[in-house]
Structure 1
């Protein structure tokens, strides 16, 4: 006579895998705003966030290496970001972790250390929706001179 095994607690391996389709717009899949590049939208998302200043500075320094489509051809790596921002290595590492945690940055291989990691700029879907809403609510500024 056999007895049923006791139910086991779920482990992290039992959790569903996180994918880009679950709430993140990656380069090329985001619905771009007319006249705006992906990089400029990403920079606006970073600058308008409530992240700490070192995270915003690191994000903008990383974005300077991206083309208008958001592709980073020449990765600055951790030491490059340290030199560009003037922050300490630990501050840049925390900033990169913050950007990843907010969904604004993704590593191509999660197992890579920051010293050798390749990054991809991403815009979370909720942030992209907010950027699109604010863009449609803003009225164009009339720069024409009044006629007398």
Structure 2
């Protein structure tokens, strides 16, 4: 299974972004409203400047307290973002996420963000793929008797 098939059912207008100069409080409100665990940081909505996750926010809360909510997103975001492409396999994406210990990844085509994929999306797709393989193998075994 490739990324294109996984994010194909998710409209591109579902990409949730914040700007670098937004406050962390604004980002937290957006995360809560959309019930997501990370938000892409992009001043123009297409070029990825960074990513801000729940983990980034919790880490800041633990070190500086609630004052971090008034900080700018650019001060907490991860700026070295690992992305993927439509033709990457689910296995490759899962490997990158596991190795990097992150759960969200922008999908980039022609240097522009076209979607966001989460570890939940990848796991769900892999489970569906495994179920189809299981059904096919079960059918082959049943037909061989």
TM-score computed with the length of structure 2 as normaliser: 0.27
Asked which structure has the greater CA Rg, the reply is 1
- What's the TM-score once normalised by structure 1's chain length? 0.27
Report the structure, 1 or 2, having the larger strand content: 2
